[in-house]
Structure 1
Amino acid sequence: MHLADPEAKIYVAGHRGMVGSAVVRRLKAAGYTNLVMRTSSELDLRDGRATQAFFETEQPDFVVMAAAKVGGILANDQYPADFLYDNVAIEQSVLHAAHATGVQRTIFLGSTCIYPKHAPQPMPEDSLLTGPLEPTNQWYAIAKITGHKLCEAFHRQHGDDMLTLMPTNLYGINDNFDLETSHVLPALLRKFHEAHQQGDAPVTLWGSGTPKREFLYADDLADAVRFVLEQPASEIRDVAPDGMLNVGVGEDLSINELATLIQDVVGHEGAITHDRSKPDGTPRKLVDVSRMNALGWTAQTGLREGIQQTYDWYRAHEGELVG
């Protein structure tokens, strides 16, 4: 069955998360009607036997792996065993089950934190494993490298059509706004929103504010997933022999510039200060998107537009998000 068939059965792992929910929205909008989903309480993907049984019963044609244990610098630093073990366990279970049941194409979603801390900028796919990782999120990075290498190994040994998309920093609807575990953009959105409500109180940024980051709206990543699912395997392998494709917007900005943009969207008029005792993380993370561009895909959502849509969603759901 080709993915152009709207009846193709697509299993979206992690459909309740920011990325998974965006993938479901995008696939439905594109006319795909046969989507399979399970919550983590219904199916623990760390359990290989349960995952195998699920695949044998459902027999999906295509798989999108958006399930992962995720978090920011603080969470990675506090729970290294959880980030490494849980993610590797999920990857082993799902990828082996996809192989064993003859899934036509699997898309594994990685993260650009897999690249060395001092990788060339913008970071090409072939910079993987050419230098040390950023220590603050190395556990998650090693897990995602393992997932990609599993995809590559299944393809090399068995011919499985397994591809890895490496998105840059993501944000959007259904993001995590918990200040203990969230990434920088949603954390700043919440901080500026609450400070604005408190009479434009000052907002403190971690570190110097000089590191540069690239941000991709989650719905754009979802469109990239849909796009790659529909491309002929030969065309993908022509530009990505290792099956790895960076997904980003191709431009970045400093954390200070991001903060000013979010401040403007929120309407906060207070001061911005810095806590320089906190870590900066990787100095720059811009991805080389030439492979995806060569296939004919580019991101469509501008940063301000995406932040505005995310902030609108946050305000509509604030009560249930932060209690």
Structure 2
Amino acid sequence: MNKDSKIYVAGHRGMVGSAIVANLIEKGFTNIITKTSNELDLTNQIAVANFFADEQPEYVFLAAAKVGGIVANNTYRAQFIYENMMIQNNVIHHSYLNNVKKLMFLGSSCIYPKLAPQPLKEEYLLTGLLEETNEPYAIAKIAGIKMCDAYRDQYGCNFISVMPTNLYGFNDNYDLQNSHVLPALLRKFHEAKLNNEEKVEVWGTGTPLREFLHATDMADACVFLMENYNDRGFVNIGSGKEISIKDLALLVKDIVGFKGTIYFNTEKPDGTPRKLMDVSKLKNLGWEYKISLKEGIENVYKTKFNS
């Protein structure tokens, strides 16, 4: 990419998309296109067709998606598969029709089988059953990966895919019904601290292991791969480090300064027992994460709740 290349970031208001825009600006890119969902409905094929015909972007970061945590994924199953497939089908197809030089599709680590060997290697895709609660979302994301590969195979498109681990950062979603575990914990502990509550409920047993990456690091990896990776197949993006939900809750409790106790509600679902990415492919390409989990959570908490 040249500094004046026309770059479209789909989903620029989301946590990942906004971080990609910030990274591009920091690196000196000057011709970035963004559209809000009110300006451009990516599920509308005609609207997307008109946008690509008018704007003719050279590079596309497809970070737009309908996303959420366990509750949202399991509750809005039809919406998650429909909206995500519509968005990616429209953007990928019209990138091809309008000769986009390169597209990056952002997926999710939930594409991997529920009981896949750990750490998760890229070749484990489609080797087992998915986690039931987010299966529709995962299938949509798998379809996006395969669509990029298919357009590469048939049309020679330089369309690549990346699979981020669990992300957190600025512009995260803190809605307790729809958010992921880390922002939900931050909000729960913060509000419990303000209200002088005696305990905070955490879903599940606390034993599942999760990996987290700051969105700022994720964006840096995406721009790095957009400039340096041109092969078939996708690349895992993560830290390669994991932490139990119990230890994560204790870390958040300490950072927030909550003095009460933690109650693990074992009647609530745990989700996948373990989900650690194998990031050796990314490391071999020359990129590693920089922001530690403790540092990242402290920065997010200070910005969101104490600014």
The corresponding residue for 1:297 is 287
CA distance 1:124–1:189, change in 2 (3 Å)? same
Deviation at 1:314, TM superposition (A): 1.3
SS at 2:160 equivalent? strand
Which of 134, 138, 141 in structure 2 is aligned with 1:141?
Answer: 138
Task: Give the unaligned 5+ runs of structure 2.
Answer: none
Q: Kindly indicate whether the alpha-carbon contact (under 8 Å) linking 1:118 and 1:131 is maintained by their aligned counterparts in 2.
A: yes
TM-score, length of structure 2 as denominator length: 0.98
Measured on the aligned residues, the alpha-carbon RMSD in Å equals 0.9
SS at 1:230 equivalent? helix
The corresponding residue for 1:26 is 23
Which of 63, 70, 73 in structure 2 is aligned with 1:73?
Answer: 70
Matches within 5 A, 1:1-323: 3=1, 5-231=2-228, 233=230, 237=231, 242-316=232-306
Q: Which string of whole-angstrom CA distances, capped at 9 and with x for unpartnered residues, describes residues 296-317 of structure 1?
A: 0011110001101111121157
Task: Give, in whole Å, the separation in 2 of the partners of 1:232 and 1:71.
Answer: 28
SS at 1:63 equivalent? strand
Moved over 6 A (4+): none
Q: What count of residue pairs does the alignment treat as equivalent?
A: 307
Task: Give, in whole Å, the separation in 2 of the partners of 1:243 and 1:27.
Answer: 24
Deviation at 1:277, TM superposition (A): 0.8
Deviation at 1:230, TM superposition (A): 1.2
Q: Which string of whole-angstrom CA distances, capped at 9 and with x for unpartnered residues, describes residues 218-263 of structure 1?
A: 0111001110111163xxx2xxxx3300000001010000001111
Q: Kindly indicate whether the alpha-carbon contact (under 8 Å) linking 1:162 and 1:243 is maintained by their aligned counterparts in 2.
A: no
SS at 1:170 equivalent? strand
Task: Give, in whole Å, the separation in 2 of the partners of 1:231 and 1:114.
Answer: 24
Task: Give, in whole Å, the separation in 1 of the partners of 2:68 and 2:264.
Answer: 22
Task: Give, in whole Å, the separation in 2 of the partners of 1:190 and 1:232.
Answer: 37
Task: Give, in whole Å, the separation in 2 of the partners of 1:100 and 1:122.
Answer: 37
Amino acid at match of 2:292: G
Task: Give, in whole Å, the separation in 2 of the partners of 1:196 and 1:217.
Answer: 24
Q: Which string of whole-angstrom CA distances, capped at 9 and with x for unpartnered residues, describes residues 42-81 of structure 1?
A: 0000011110110111110100001000001101111100
Task: Give, in whole Å, the separation in 1 of the partners of 2:121 and 2:50.
Answer: 38
Q: Which string of whole-angstrom CA distances, capped at 9 and with x for unpartnered residues, describes residues 136-169 of structure 1?
A: 1111100100111100100011110011110000
Task: Give, in whole Å, the separation in 2 of the partners of 1:48 and 1:126.
Answer: 32
Amino acid at match of 1:192: F
Q: Kindly indicate whether the alpha-carbon contact (under 8 Å) linking 1:46 and 1:93 is maintained by their aligned counterparts in 2.
A: yes
Task: Give, in whole Å, the separation in 1 of the partners of 2:226 and 2:39.
Answer: 26
Task: Give, in whole Å, the separation in 1 of the partners of 2:93 and 2:137.
Answer: 20
Task: Give the unaligned 5+ runs of structure 1.
Answer: 318-323
Task: Give, in whole Å, the separation in 2 of the partners of 1:180 and 1:316.
Answer: 23
Q: Kindly indicate whether the alpha-carbon contact (under 8 Å) linking 1:71 and 1:181 is maintained by their aligned counterparts in 2.
A: yes
Task: Give, in whole Å, the separation in 2 of the partners of 1:127 and 1:257.
Answer: 28
Task: Give, in whole Å, the separation in 2 of the partners of 1:220 and 1:59.
Answer: 28
Q: Kindly indicate whether the alpha-carbon contact (under 8 Å) linking 1:213 and 1:286 is maintained by their aligned counterparts in 2.
A: yes
TM-score, length of structure 1 as denominator length: 0.94
Task: Give, in whole Å, the separation in 1 of the partners of 2:20 and 2:234.
Answer: 19
SS at 1:107 equivalent? strand
Task: Give, in whole Å, the separation in 1 of the partners of 2:13 and 2:102.
Answer: 21
Deviation at 1:201, TM superposition (A): 2.7
